[in-house]
Structure 1
Amino acid sequence: MKDKKIFELEYVLKTSPKVLDNVLFTQSGLADWFCDDVNIKDDIYSFEWDGYIEQARLLSLKKGQAIKWQWIEDEEEGIDTYFGFRYHIDPLTNAVILTISGSAAEEDIKEAKALWEQHVSDLRRLIGA
């Protein structure tokens, strides 16, 4: 069993909460930027990338605020990790501050962060932020 560390990345997005809610909290929204396809059954999300499917259990969902999952593989191995998104509105600028939480083994954190950077680039393109 590999130990994993939680890391956070923060992004300023010039968009509305309504637009962000759609891309973070809906099946079709997630498939537009995070993965190729996603299927949801009960609290299990099946994310697909290039024909590879990875499943995650929904841990918490607060529409308009945050969503958090745990990879089933980590759950089965007893690794206490999660990944997810949360956001808030900066009161001074009215910009949306998106925080992404991820986890990776120490030696894989740089690569994991680079992957999230690519996902956020896709997200920005999608929402015009």
Structure 2
Amino acid sequence: MEKEKFHIEYIFDKVSRRSLWNHVTSALGLSAWFADEVTIQGNLYTFRWNKEKQQARVIESKPETQIRYQWVDEEDKSAYFEFAIHTIELTGSTALEITDFAEPGEKTDSIDLWDSQVEDLKRTLGI
């Protein structure tokens, strides 16, 4: 069954694009909020949660703007997860837009998980 694409946007006041970028692309940054441990070899990221391990490849990247990952074991080759960073002109705030895919009926759970993880990210950034 084909997964459903969804977007979520989070606003970060007083956070630089560079700082947010480092938290969504570097091993140290990602291990602070996204996974327990992250290692990077070239464009292959290995994420560990407890004893579970998953790998993702970077399939597209524009420095300090956007990075797109695809799980290595993903059956739906059109599915990916992406972090896009932009500045909201009216307020000057930094926004993080997450694009992801979920099985039909699991979209709400996926959004809840992202909400929880982004709360961890905000704490890590001192917000």
Please indicate the TM-score interval, normalised by the length of the shorter structure: over 0.9
Residues 53-110 of structure 1: per-residue CA shift (max 9 Å, x gap): 0111111111110111111111xx2431110100101111110011011111011111
> Number of aligned pairs?
126
Tell me the TM-score normalized by structure 2.
0.93
CA distance in 1, matches of 2:67, 2:20: 12
Q: After superposition, where does 1:109-128 map in structure 2 within 5 Å?
A: 109-128=107-126
Identity of aligned residues (%): 33
CA distance in 2, matches of 1:18, 1:72: 27
Q: Which residues of structure 1 form unaligned runs of 5+?
A: none
The one-letter code sitting in structure 1 at the alignment partner of 2:111 is K
CA distance in 2, matches of 1:16, 1:78: 34
Q: After superposition, where does 1:89-100 map in structure 2 within 5 Å?
A: 89-100=87-98
SS in 2 for 1:106: coil
CA distance in 2, matches of 1:100, 1:65: 12
What's 2:8 paired with?
A: 9
The 4+ residue runs of structure 1 with deviation greater than 4 A are none
Tell me the TM-score normalized by structure 1.
0.92
Q: Which residues of structure 2 form unaligned runs of 5+?
A: none
SS in 1 for 2:77: coil
What's 1:42 paired with?
A: 42
Asked if 1:72 is matched to 2:66, the reply is no
More helix by share: 1
CA distance in 2, matches of 1:47, 1:109: 22
CA distance in 1, matches of 2:126, 2:63: 21
